[in-house]
Structure 1
Amino acid sequence: MRDVWSFNEVSGETAENYDALRAGFDWRVPETFNFGADVIDRRAREQDGPALIWQDAAGSTQRYSYSDLSRLSNKLADVLRSRGIKKGDRVIVMLPRLPEWFIALIGIMKIGAVPIPCIEMLTARDIEYRVSNAEASAAICRAEHTAKFASVQDAIPVRIALGEAESWLDWNGELAKASEQLSPAVVRADDPAIMYYTSGSTGHPKAVVHASRAIYAWRVSAIYWLDLRPGEVIWCTADTGWSKAGTSIIFGPLSCGACAFFYDGPFVPSERLGLLRRHGVTVY
């Protein structure tokens, strides 16, 4: 397999001699880079380990390895591809802090489609604007939020809901039937990989498209700023619709072989220290 990078690069001390480190730094961005295939699938094959710890407010916990994310994202990718979603298509992903958010982003990117992460606080008007502006071909959300898509539903050929919703495909049912085998798309470094929308505080939100080379580069901040290594557990509390969730929850940490802690619960300061202890969080 083409050597996108050596996993061993993220071990050992990185900041003993800053001047030498800075002088010798080289981006070495590859010609092609598919995060789902070149990071998740490769680590699942070569250095599998914990990738995601999820807990909700009630204390329920789920754990996922890189091989779990690889297998499940293949299944979602198969669902999307079989329904006609192809490289370059835009996919709205409006999910809270759930494991399905990880699976959705990875699966979409595996086929070269472009996820648009959105927070659940969006109104029907917000969604209508994004669907139209991005010319979205698919949407993924929880069943209780599908009504927000009513005015644009006919414009979105593929709609997947977590839970049962009329005229929407059921996430669990579709993945249960899908194949775990997938040939990922070839994604060039300058191909679009993910799209975020700005807050829109001075007008309509602006679409910001990040090329695949940006996903590759976010690993660097995870190494040198967040100081992540295999075996580390990071908890970044950013909401799923913001680019910070990309840099510090999924793309950066998983590119380093670290594990992300994902908490779907309210902000209760007195409980945070307990969660840090319980899950062995090393970077917060």
Structure 2
Amino acid sequence: MTATSATGATEGFRAARDFLLQHREDYETAYEGFAWPRPDRFNWALDWFDVIAEGNDRTALHLVEEDGTETKVSFAEMSRRSDRVANWLRARGVRAGDRIIVMLGNQVELWETVLAAMKLRAVVIPATPLLGPADLRDRVDRGRARHVIARAEDTVKFDDVPGGYTRIAVGGDGVDWLAYEHAADESEVFTPDGATLADDTLMLYFTSGTTARPKLVEHTHTSYPVGHLSTMYWIGLKPGDVHLNISSPGWAKHAWSNLFAPWNAEATV
């Protein structure tokens, strides 16, 4: 587990979250009395997720595949998994501020990777697996990506995407790609190498590009993690709930309702 414990930022976040839970059925009071927590330093993965995950065997993530097979990961296990991935990525050269294209489906590795990147203060560029080589060239170039994590079956799409970025494959080795599965051999003890400022960049989303070239939209370590307390309230999530959201990875709604809102509430994704 990460060498971390509840901080002032944790308690400020918890107080705001609990106020919304307390007034779940009283919108006027919630609207009038709610105040956004505004910490100077905040890392949602360390200051919130790892704190609620300590010793917590309740299910954080429940995946059901088309063939009926199921995977359940507890909060405590997700914390440990993300620590191992963070240690492994750091050993592969991932540093604070580095930009990582994450092109995965709804699979355990997606949630592990986002938490791990957050702990490293790296920047996540979410990408749908539907993207082709032309889109990926644009994302690597304009996103200034230094690392790519993709499903093994999608690695061929990067054959014509130039750049000196680290290539990491999930689900089997691609040619000249590192195998993500080796992260499981890393230590579960993770030590952050620096403080996370609240306005440090956390995610860079590319817009859909419906009418022009896709644009990059920046989100910080507070804008999504703290901002989606509102989504938690609007959806009505409470601790112990199970929430199904059908958004695909790569779209912003996936972060809102498959990551931050339910785990803000200590609910199951």
With normalisation by structure 2, the TM-score equals 0.90
2:186 to 157, 170, 178: 178
Task: Name the % identity.
Answer: 32
Query: How many angstroms apart in 1 are the aligned matches of 2:184 and 2:228?
Result: 32
Number of residue equivalences: 259
Per the alignment, residue 205 of structure 1 pairs with 214
Give RMSD over aligned pairs: 1.8
Which of 41, 52, 62 matches 2:50?
41
Distance 1:61 1:10 in 2: 34
Point out where structure 2 has 5 or more consecutive residues left out of the alignment: 1-5
Within 5 Å, which residues of 2 pair with 1:154-173?
A: 154-172=163-181
Aligned residues of 1:160 and 1:171 also touching (Cα < 8 A):
yes
Structure 1 runs not aligned, ≥5 long: 261-284
2:3 alignment counterpart: none
Partner of residue 96, structure 1: 105
For 1:31, the equivalent position in structure 2 comes to: 40
Stretch moving more, 119-128 or 20-29: 20-29
Q: Render the CA deviation track for 1:163-204: whole Å, top value 9, x for unaligned.
A: 1211111111x2132121111342111110111110011222
CA distance in 2, matches of 1:253, 1:12: 13
Query: 2:19 & 2:257 partners in 1: Cα distance?
Result: 16
Q: Residues 20 and 30 of structure 2 are in contact (CA less than 8 Å); yes or no, is this contact kept in structure 1?
A: no
Q: Deviations over 1:80-126 (max 9, x none)?
A: 11121111110001011111111111111110001111111100111
- Does 1:152 find its partner at 2:151? no
Identify if the C-alpha distance between structure 1 residues 219 and 47 changes in structure 2 by more than 3 Å, giving closer, same or farther. farther
Q: Deviations over 1:127-155 (max 9, x none)?
A: 01000111101111111110111123542
Relative to the length of structure 1, the TM-score reads 0.86
* TM-fit CA distance, 1:21: 2.3
Partners of 1:167 and 1:150 in 2: CA distance:
11
Instruction: Read off the aligned partner of 1:229 and give its amino acid letter.
Output: K
Deviations 1:194-252 (A, max 9, x none): 11110011222111110111123234123320111111000000011100000001111
Alignment of 1:247 with 2:252, yes or no, is no
Q: Distance in 1 between matches of 2:62 and 2:24?
A: 29
- 1:146·1:161 contact (CA, 8 Å) conserved in 2? no
- Name the amino acid aligned to 1:178: E
Give the match's secondary structure for 1:51.
Answer: strand
